[in-house]
Amino acid sequence: MNRPEQTREASRRDPRYDILFEPVQIGPVQTRNRFYQVPHCNGMGHQFPSSMAEMRGVKAEGGWGVVCTEQVEIHHTSELTPIIEGRLWDDADLPVFQRMTDKIHEHGSLAGIEPCYDGLATPNRYSREVPMAPSARPVAYPDPVQARAMDKTDIRNLRRWYVEAAKRSKRAGFDIIYVYAGHDLNALSHFLSRRWNDRGDEYGGSLENRARLLREVLSDTKDAVGDTCGVAIRFGVEEMMGSDGLTSAGEGRDVVEMLADIPDLWDVNVSDWDNDSMTSRFAEEGFQDDHVAFVKKVTQKPVVGVGRYTSPDKMVSLITSGALDLIGAARPSIADPFLPRKIQEGRIEDIRECIGCNICVTADFTSSPLRCTQNPTMGEEWRRGWHPERIDPRHADETVLIVGGGPSGLEAARALGARGYGVTLAEATAQLGGRVLMEGALPGLAAWRRVADYRTYQISQMANVETYLESPLTANQVLEFGADHVVIATGATWCESGVGRENHKPIARAPGANVLAVEAVAEGAEITGPVVLFDDDHFYMGGVLAELLRRQGHEVTLVTPMPLASYWTQNTLEQERIQARLLEMGIGIVPLHNVTHIGAETAEIACVYTERTRDIACRTFVPVTMRRPVETLYHEVQAQLGKRENAPSLTRIGDCFGPGTIAAAVYAGHRYARELGDPASQAAPFRRELPRLADLNT
């Protein structure tokens, strides 16, 4: 029976989208709609289980018909320390997952779990057990650890561990239990692979033999829990490495045909992870469609796929064309946990669309809770009690003046407006967006403008938020405005000095040296090549500017103290693609070097190890090193506060306070809005999950 609110919501939605809210049968269980949050890591898992459970529960509240865990370790002989994933080694782990399934079931959604044995993918830093794999190989991590080849007893044990994990999952309340064979990250996919499996027995050689263990685990799982739980397989049908891997026209398709109707659901994608979760810089929405289109043609079972889908029209097209039965999402469900509800309620314009930046992915690599550029509440649902769609009303009938319409100022204005404050947003330029406008115009980053577009639209609908463009303010004007609270969000600018991580003093330069700041290059300054770009920032900006300059026809050399270009983008799954693109474009990359002097015709570079120097041609030098806060107005206002009666509160936020990522700027604006009116506390402003001391007698 439909709940009353579901009936009201259905009456408001566009009938074109009715098909998205049809139920789908997955073995013995049925979804409430076609929105499916596929398994995704979150940096919480077994370390921060309350945060993990609350985050998943909010997804269910937001309308995702199925909400899944991240990958979940099933045995101590395969654990991912320090990476934080789920852990289901024994019954002691059940309460963590029972809390999660209760949160999901509370909103009428199904809970899915992805048990996993990682094999070659982990060195077992915590358990200190010798890893196991189909064949003897060094583990995927650079640790000096080698996995031993599994014998028949090991294989029987592994099958038993999967069955035990499935039974525990059922007791924990899960409705869908996965058999995970994708992303080249687990023993089942390693057995399938000719790269990792050179066995000579019935588990090696032919594809039928290499798929034997996967077939056995699928059958074992169905026998163990298939009476009440749906059994899904997650499988990467295309590894995008030609004949060296699985392909959707070759062995990837063969595996699907071989196992077609054994599982209750096919969750299909491309492999490995850096292909499956490509950023918007390298892939458009729906980039996996062609690779997985065949699956529905060879199985009678429902199919879920992903592709960073945010458009409901695209979703409908995928269903009506017969390509998919369920719309899978990881990143779009992070950017907007209420995406399905907004479609159901006829509020498509309120969707916070994923920008494909992969800040969320960095949580896994940095072993820290999940973050999102578009959704500042992500990871804070339990810690701070932040909800993505609800915010406390204003604490008093007060007004706020925000100076600066970049990502931080925009989010502060949006959230303060939602609380009911009278808000005035003053922007010195002719457009709102700040750094997002500049960066969104750079190669591959157009989707990032969604950060500004979403917030600009939201505040345009609020009668209590006024926006003034081309309105640079002086300190006197700020104070004469008479607001109760003043927020300075004037951003930051890139330094020209070269000071940064490697150089603690400005880089020496000769008279006539031509040095351009990042903003000048991005805004189309006249440039004379050859260009030397010094990347001591290590995120995306250095590589993007090098690409821009090369597209303009300049000879470009990127110098970096790190061993790779755009080094930190390893955490966003982009580094290899960035380096390959730069090399393919003919951009020179000089790693492990510092820039020590800038001349009119050359730049002197020095090896970071030997300090040996050499000159390279350089007529324009672009340092991508650090940014300085634009904080003059803040200090000028602060200096006058003591001279005035009834002075407003004064706060600086975002890059003006501490330059960082766009995600950090959005978070800062949101945090200010949430905390306005709350009494100051000396304690940590969030709840912590503390470890429980073990019983010394056990």
- Rounded CA Rg of the chain: 27
The number of CA neighbours under 13 Å toward the Cβ of 634 is: 19
Catalytic residue among 36, 117, 162, 180: 180
Phi-psi region of 221 (alpha: psi -120 to 50; beta: other; left: phi over 0): alpha
Catalytic residue among 36, 41, 309, 618: 41
Catalytic residue among 40, 183, 291, 485: 183
CA proximity to 531, closest of 507, 513, 504: 513
CA proximity to 17, closest of 255, 348, 350, 425: 348
What whole-number distance in Å separates Cα of residue 315 and Cα of residue 35?
10
CA proximity to 258, closest of 229, 233, 222: 233
Strands (E), 239-285: 265-270
- Listed in sequence order, the DSSP H helices in 37-88 are 49-61
Question: Going by DSSP bridges, is the β-strand pair 110-116/137-138 parallel, antiparallel, or unpaired?
Answer: unpaired
What whole-number distance in Å separates Cα of residue 443 and Cα of residue 587?
15
The residue behind tokens 């089942």 is 188
CB 515 within 8 A of CB 621: yes
- Quick one: tokens of 586? 């003919």
Tell me: cis bond preceding 530? Omega within 30 of 0 counts. yes
24 C-beta neighbours (distance < 10 Å), count: 19
Sign of the C-alpha dihedral computed for residues 241, 246, 250 and 256 taken in this order: negative
CB 536 within 8 A of CB 522: no
Q: What is the torsion angle, in degrees rounded to the nearest 10, for the CA atoms of residue 644, residue 648, residue 651 and residue 652?
A: -70
Catalytic residue among 93, 276, 536, 655: 276
> Kind and range of the H or E element at 640?
helix 632-641
The residue behind tokens 């000028």 is 636
CA proximity to 81, closest of 45, 38, 133: 45
Backbone angles phi, psi at 240, to 5 degrees: 55, 40
- Listed in sequence order, the DSSP H helices in 118-201 are 152-171, 187-192
CB 230 within 8 A of CB 176: yes
In three-state secondary structure terms, 377 is: coil
CA proximity to 472, closest of 666, 626, 628, 636: 636
CA proximity to 605, closest of 593, 587, 590, 621: 593
Backbone angles phi, psi at 655, to 5 degrees: -65, -25
What whole-number distance in Å separates Cα of residue 662 and Cα of residue 158?
44
Q: Is 276 a catalytic residue?
A: yes
- Quick one: tokens of 452? 């500004």
- Quick one: tokens of 159? 């099958």
The number of CA neighbours under 13 Å toward the Cβ of 231 is: 25
CB 555 within 8 A of CB 531: yes
Q: Is 41 a catalytic residue?
A: yes
- Listed in sequence order, the DSSP H helices in 420-509 are 435-440, 450-460, 475-480
What whole-number distance in Å separates Cα of residue 576 and Cα of residue 557?
18
Active-site positions? 41, 180, 183, 276
